[in-house]
Structure 1
C-alpha cells in the first residue's frame, strides 16, 4: 500500500514549493503572498526509490470554525488524520514564530510520525534559523531549500525508516509469463541449429550457407515446466559489410528482438571465439540493458583441448568488463549437448537482472566502500557522496546522491560499480548508475 505524506505548517513557509519539488511538476500555485493554497492538493511523489502520495495543505492559522480560515484549517486537520507521515515545515529565514508552536503541538498529539522541515535554509542565516527549530520539540530539523532542491538527500534519509522496504511489498511475477530469450551472433554461428535441438524438431531452416535466417522467428517452448519464448535472429555482420537492402532489414529485425528480449544468448563459434564482431554484439546487448549469457557453440570440435574453457572464461572477463561474470557455457547445437547448463545459466542471470537491493543494505555497503577508498578532493573540497538507492531493476539501476558529483572521476564510478557487482553478486548484467545533485542557488550560470 502506498504511504501518504502530508505537508503542514503556517502560511508562506514554502509548503507548495516542497510539494511541487516532490511531485516533479508545478501542480500547486506558488506566490510570495501567504494563503494562496486553500484546498488540499494531492499528487504522486517520488524521492529516490520511495514512492508515496503527497498532500499539500492550507497554512495553519487560528480562526473560528465558521470562517473561511477555520474551514481551511479543518481541511488540513483531515489531511493530518489521513496521513501516515507528517512533514511539519517552518521558515528557517525567520526562525520559529509563536504561531508555529500551537500547531507543532497539534501534529505531536496526532500520534503520527513527524519530520520537522526547516525550509529556506540556504545560506548562513537560514542555517541559524534551522537550529532554532529544535525548540519545537519535534526532533532534529531537516534543513533544506525546496526552491533550489538542496537537502533532499537528508529528507530521504529521514523518510526512509518510516516506509516499508520496496522489496517487501513488491508484486509477484506471473509464473505463466514466458521468459523471452533471443539467440544472437555472427552469421553461421549455429543459432538455428541450436534452437531446432532445443524444441526437438527441424523447425528452422539450417545449412552450411551463412545468412539463411532473415526474419526474427519466435517459438514457444517449455524447459523443465517453465515457459520460454525463443527468438532466432539473423546473423549480425560488421555494418560496413551490410549492403543488401534485405540484409539491412534482417539486421534491424534482429536488433528489435534484442530490445524486446529479457535474456540474450550471444552464440560464439568456439573454433574462432571472441572475434571483434562478437565483442560488438555483446556491447550492443549491454547498451540495451539485457541480461547476457555467452554460448560457446561447436564445442565438440575443440573439446579435446585441455584448459581451453578456463582460458576462454578468463578472456571473456578481460575483454568484456562491462558485463563481468557473464556465464560462459560450452555447448553443441548439432549434437544437442550443453542445452541444460545453458538454460540454467539463462534463468539464473534473469533472476540477477530482476534483483532489488534494499536501500539500507546499499548504504551500509556504500559507507564501507567510501571508507576503504574515499572520493578525491576537487579544488580543496572533497566530493561528498551522501547516500545511494536502487531506482529500478531490469537491469539494476542505482542513483547516487551527493555534492559536486559532476566532478567525480569515471574511474571512481567504475570502482563503485565493480564493488556493487561483487558485493551483491550481480554477474552478467549491465549496471546503471545515475549521479544526482541539488542545485546551487548561488551559481550565477544556473538557468
Structure 2
C-alpha cells in the first residue's frame, strides 16, 4: 500500500498549488479566492526518487453542523484519518493567525508525523513569517514556495526520513543516523549543450550508460545514476543542455530544460560544466547565477582540457577568471577536467565533497559575533540621512546554504554594498568559499514605540 500524505491548513495558504507541483500537473483548481477546494483530491506524487499518494484537502474552517463548511471539514478529517503523515501549511507572508494556532493543536491530536511547511517564503516578509511559525511547536519549519518551486530540496530531505522504502525492499528497518550521514550526495551536472556532461558521467561509471554524440541536445531527460568514488556515494543527475530562452523553440526542448531546472532544485551540489575553449560565456554566467539563487553549492568544471595547448599559469588564470565573472560566489572551486580522457576526475569529486561540507557548515554564535564586532569596528556602516545605522548582533538560522539573520535598526537603509562587505568578510573568516551565503535583515522592536509622545 502506498504511503499517503494529507495537505492540511487554513484556506488560501497554497495547499492546492503544492498538490499540483507534487503530482506534476494542474489537477487542482487554484485561485486567490479562499475556499476553491471543497472535496479532497488524491494524486500520485513524486519528489526526487520518493513516490507517495498525496491528498489535497479543503481549508480547515469551522461551521454549523450540516453546513457546507462543516461537510468540507468532515472531508478533511477523513483525509487525515487515511493519511500516514501530514503536511501542515501556513502562509509565511501573512504570519501566524489564531486559526493556524488552533489547527496546529488539531494536527497534533492526529498523532501522526507532521511536517510544518511555511509556504510563500520568498522574500524578506516570508523569512520573518517562517521564523514566527516556531511558536506552533511542530518542529522546524520548512521554507518553500509552492508556486516557484523553491525549497523542494529541503522538503525532500525531511520527507525522506518518514517515507518508507518501496515495498519490494525486504529490509524495512528505520534508517540509522550513521546511514543518514552516509546518504549519497545529490549532484546535478549542468551546462550548455555539448559541454560533455554525459561523457564525464560515463567515465565515472566505467560504462556507456548515457547516450553521447557530437550533436548538441542528445540528452533530453534528467537521468539519475548511482556512483561510488573512493568510498563515498553520489547520486548524479545528467541533464539536458541549457540554452538561452530565445533560442528554444521546440516544445520537447522546453520540457527538457524544465526537467534540468528541477534537477538543480533537488540537487545539493551543482557542477557547472564549461567548454575549455569557450568558457565563461553569457549562458554559463546565467546558469551559475541561477544555481546561486537556488541556494545550491557550486563547482565549476572546465571540460575538454586535453584540447588546450599547455601553457604555464593556466590554472591560476582560471581562478582569476572565476572570481572576476562570478563575484557572488567568490572562491568557487574550479577544476580542469577531461571527461573523455578521465583527467582531473579525482580532483573534481574531491571538490564536490568539500563544497558539500561548506554548504552544510554551521558557525558557532560566539565566534560569529566576535567576527561581527571586528568587522563593524574595521569598517563601520555608513550614516544615512545624517543618522548612524545600528547593527546589534547576528546569528545563523540554518545551513544548506549558510543563512544568517542580522538584527539592526532601519533595515531598509543598509546599503547592498555593506552587505556584500559583510558577506565577503564572512567567507574569508569562516572559510565559506563559493557557497551561497544568505543574510536577512531584521529590525529589533522599539521598546518605546507604544508610548505616546507628550503633548507640547
- Pick the TM interval, shorter chain: 0.5 to 0.7
Larger Rg: 1
* 1:358 Cα deviation from its structure 2 partner: 1.1
Is the 1:49–1:390 contact (alpha carbons within 8 Å) kept by the matching residues of 2?
no
Report the equivalent of 1:222.
228
Q: CA deviation at 1:310?
A: 1.2
Compute the TM-score of the two structures, normalised by the length of structure 2. 0.60
What is the alpha-carbon distance in structure 2 between the residues aligned to residue 53 and residue 430 of structure 1? 28
What is the CA deviation profile of residues 357-386 of structure 1, one whole-angstrom value per residue up to 9, with x for unaligned ones?
A: 011111110000000011112233210000
Residue matched to 1:265 = 271
Q: Contact 1:211 / 1:235 at 8 angstroms: preserved in 2?
A: yes
Shift in Å, 1:49: 9.4
Q: How many residues align?
A: 290
| SS across alignment from 1:300 | helix
Residue 443 to residue 221, structure 1, CA distance change in 2 (3 Å): farther
The CA deviation at 1:254 is: 0.3
Secondary structure of 1:221 counterpart: strand
The yes-or-no answer on 1:293 pairing with 2:338 is: no
Alignment of 1:345-384 (within 5 A): 345-384=351-390
Alpha-carbon displacement from aligned partner over 1:143-199 (angstroms, at most 9, x marks no partner):
xxxxxxxxxxxxxxxxxxxxxxxxxxxx87823311100100000000000000001
Which residue of the partner structure matches residue 321 of structure 2? 315
Match of 2:438 in 1: 432
User: Are residue 203 (structure 1) and residue 209 (structure 2) matched?
Assistant: yes
In the alignment, structure 1 segments of 5+ residues that lack a partner are 1-23, 29-43, 56-170
**The residue matched to 2:225 in structure 1 has which SS?**
strand
Specify whether residues 409 and 347 from structure 1 end up closer, same or farther in structure 2 by C-alpha distance, changes over 3 A only: same
- Cα deviation for residue 313 of structure 1 reads 1.2
Deviations 1:298-331 (Å, cap 9, x if unpaired)?
0011151322221121011011001110111011
Counterpart position of 2:121:
none
Using the alignment, how far apart are the partners of 2:233 and 2:132 within structure 1?
A: 33
Q: Is the 8 A contact 2:362 2:398 kept in 1?
A: yes
Answering whether residue 341 of structure 2 is matched by residue 335 of structure 1, we say yes
Give the 3 Å change call, closer, same or farther, for CA 245–397 of structure 1 in structure 2. same
Cα separation, partners in 2 of 1:51 and 1:367, compared to 1, 3 Å: farther
* Residues 249 and 52 (structure 1), Cα distance of their counterparts in 2 relative to 1, 3 Å cut: closer
Give me the whole-angstrom Cα distance separating, in 1, the residues matched to 2:254 and 2:131: 41
How far is 1:261 from its partner?
A: 0.3
Q: What is the alpha-carbon distance in structure 2 between the residues aligned to residue 203 and residue 443 of structure 1?
A: 70
Q: Is the 8 A contact 2:96 2:132 kept in 1?
A: no
**2:404 maps to what in 1?**
398
The residue aligned with 2:428 is 422
Post-superposition offset of 1:50:
12
Please state how far the C-alpha of 1:221 moved relative to its aligned partner: 1.1
The structural deviation recorded for 1:27 is 5.8
- In the alignment, structure 1 residue 275 sits paired with structure 2 residue 281: yes
Distance in 2, matches of 1:423 and 1:301, equals 38
Unaligned runs of 5+ in 2: 1-94, 100-115, 117-127, 138-176
CA contact (8 A) 2:96 2:129 kept: no
Partner of 2:71: none
Aligned position for 1:250: 256
Q: Distance in 1 between matches of 2:319 and 2:260?
A: 26
Larger deviation, residues 346-355 vs 311-320: 311-320
CA RMSD of aligned residues (A): 2.7
1:326 aligned residue: 332
